């Protein structure tokens, strides 16, 4: 059963803590993406990776970090430097070549207490 999984579904963080959001895919996709969505807003790109061991900053990378050690996995760390981290975080993936279609995981809702 192929797809993209994100965990946890809900995450609560105290101010000053780092938290890591998981994203795993078994679609054999090369490229993976992290987006943030705030209420009433569109998706904003945080980081993306087109190949293992390589990633690029998106439009709002400050306060976030990522790694891409395996093709299947692209975890996102929300650091204490991110001043307003409460949001809905979405991971997506796509094949590197051919179609530009991105497919999304179910998302993680992060709330800072």
Partner 1 sequence: QKEVEQNSGPLSVPEGAIASLNCTYSDRGSQSFFWYRQYSGKSPELIMFIYSNGDKEDGRFTAQLNKASQYVSLLIRDSKPSDSATYLCAVNTGFQKLVFGTGTRLLVSP
Point out which residues bind partner 1 (CB under 8 A). Answer: 31, 33, 35, 40-45, 48, 50, 58, 90, 96, 99-107
Name beta bridge partners: 109.
Answer: 10, 88
| Residue among 53 and 101 whose Cβ is closer to partner 1 | 101
Q: How far apart are CA 108 and CA 98, in angstroms?
A: 28
Q: How far is the CB of 30 from partner 1 (least distance, A)?
A: 10
Q: How far is the CB of 74 from partner 1 (least distance, A)?
A: 14
Q: How far is the CB of 33 from partner 1 (least distance, A)?
A: 8
CB 45, CB 102: distance < 8 Å = no
| Residue among 75 and 107 whose Cβ is closer to partner 1 | 107
b/e per residue, 93-111, with b = 16+ CB within 10 A? bbeeeeeeebeebebbebe
| Residue among 46 and 78 whose Cβ is closer to partner 1 | 46
């Amino acid at each position: 059963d192929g797809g993209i999984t994100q965990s946890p579904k809900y995450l609560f963080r105290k101010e000053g803590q780092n938290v890591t959001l998981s994203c795993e895919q078994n679609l054999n996709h090369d490229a993976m993406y992290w987006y943030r969505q705030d209420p009433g807003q569109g998706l904003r790109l945080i980081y993306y990776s087109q190949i293992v061991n390589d990633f690029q900053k998106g439009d709002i990378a400050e306060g976030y970090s990522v790694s891409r050690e395996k093709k299947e996995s692209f975890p996102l760390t929300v650091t204490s430097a991110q001043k307003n981290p409460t949001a809905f975080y979405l991971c997506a993936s796509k094949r590197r070549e051919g179609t530009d279609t991105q497919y999304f995981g179910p998302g993680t809702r992060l709330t800072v207490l």
